[in-house]
Amino acid sequence: MPRRLCAGSPHFLTEDRHAMCELYVKADPILYESRSRSLRIRGVVTTLRLENQFWDILAEIAAVDGMTTNQLISKLYDEVMDYRGEVVNFASFLRVSCTRFLSQRPSKVRELSLTQRAQ
């Protein structure tokens, strides 16, 4: 049976249409459980609910920028408010910010794809 790369992943699968990539299917359920956090933004206590994976990514971004996660979130809120004047769904904004952060990093999948194209 021919083998193919699973979309977006370096893992090989059979042609079975019901098979899923191990990278996604075998993710620890803790990563997609939601967790709420209370923090103060512009003097107002706010509760944000995000999946644990996004909290981890926000902590990584904050560490890169030399600040706490709460400081990062407050800074992002201030900057988006200054730029747009409103935030309709701040939790979604944070999720998109996380994915944009990850897309800026070189990835093994992207490197593999570029290597395959060059051959």
Residue ranges per structural domain of the chain: 1-32, 34-107
C-alpha 71/C-alpha 20 separation (Å) is 38
Higher pLDDT residue, 117 or 71?
Answer: 71
> What architecture does CATH give domain 34-107?
Orthogonal Bundle (1.10)
The model's pLDDT over 18-75, given as tens digits with 9 standing for 90+, comes to 556 777 788 888 889 999 999 999 999 999 999 999 999 999 999 999 999 999 999 9
Contact between residue 81 and residue 70 where contact means Cβ atoms under 8 Å apart: no
Average pLDDT value over all residues in the chain = 83
pTM of model > 0.75: no
Q: How far apart are CA 77 and CA 84, in angstroms?
A: 10
